[in-house]
Amino acid sequence: MQESQRVSGGEILFRTVKPADILEVMNINRICLPENYTYGFFEELAKEYPRAFWVAETNNKVVGYIMCRVERIFSKFDFLKIRRAGHIVSIAVLPNYRRKRIGEELVRRAVHALANEYGCEEAYLEVRVNNNPAIQLYKKLGFVTKEIQRRYYADGEDAYVMVLKLPVSF
């Protein structure tokens, strides 16, 4: 599944991940985020949930990604109800490619896949409480803050848990 789209600064190809992309995705993760995962973790999510693991590519170079998994959780909206939820585990865009709506498009595609391919009723993510650009993007896309996870990150920073009811039409 792939589709090109013009964004400011050039042509971006959005497509689902391929096994050959994992090392590039890991490199983006290491450059952009303090939370890093093993090769096996990326590989597992690519195999288990390939339609919710997207990359953005330009000039044959992966410049951003989003990876998700599907879980059964207590609903963040409906007290004591168990729901199928899409967990947005990680998203990152290389610094030189930010503010071009790449992250926004990655979230849109992943959320669409979580709802329509995996039957999720909610999507959620954790975001650092001081990551205002990401928080504003998620709010723009309809996510709401439901709770704070104290000391969620290894460095002790708190995280907001943000949630979106599915399906959603963007």
Tell me the C-alpha distance between 63 and 92, whole Å.
Answer: 8
Q: Which tens digits make up the pLDDT trace of 107-118?
A: 999 999 999 999
* Domain chopping of the chain, boundaries: 2-120
Give the mean pLDDT of the chain: 93
Query: What whole-number percentage of the chain has pLDDT above 70?
Result: 95
Q: What is the pLDDT of residue 108?
A: 97
Tell me the C-alpha distance between 47 and 62, whole Å.
Answer: 18
Tell me the C-alpha distance between 84 and 130, whole Å.
Answer: 29
Q: What is the pLDDT of residue 168?
A: 86
Q: What is the pLDDT of residue 78?
A: 87
> Is residue 134 predicted with pLDDT exceeding 80?
yes
In this structure, of 76-80, 101-105, 119-123, the range with the lowest mean pLDDT score is 76-80
2-120: CATH topology: Aminopeptidase (3.40.630)
Report, as an integer, the average pLDDT of 69-86.
Answer: 93
Tell me the C-alpha distance between 108 and 92, whole Å.
Answer: 14
Tell me the C-alpha distance between 15 and 13, whole Å.
Answer: 6
Q: Which tens digits make up the pLDDT trace of 5-63?
A: 555 557 899 999 999 999 999 999 999 999 999 999 999 999 999 999 999 999 999 99
7 Cβ partners below 8 Å, 6+ apart? 100, 101, 102, 105
In contact, 22 and 39? CB cutoff 8 Å: yes
In contact, 168 and 109? CB cutoff 8 Å: no
Find where tokens 């939370």 sit. 35
In this structure, of 6-10, 64-68, 151-155, the range with the lowest mean pLDDT score is 6-10
Residue 118 region, left (φ>0) first, then alpha (ψ -120 to 50), else beta? Answer: alpha
* pTM (two decimals): 0.92
Report, as an integer, the average pLDDT of 82-106.
Answer: 96
Q: What is the pLDDT of residue 6?
A: 55
Q: What is the pLDDT of residue 143?
A: 97
In contact, 122 and 77? CB cutoff 8 Å: yes
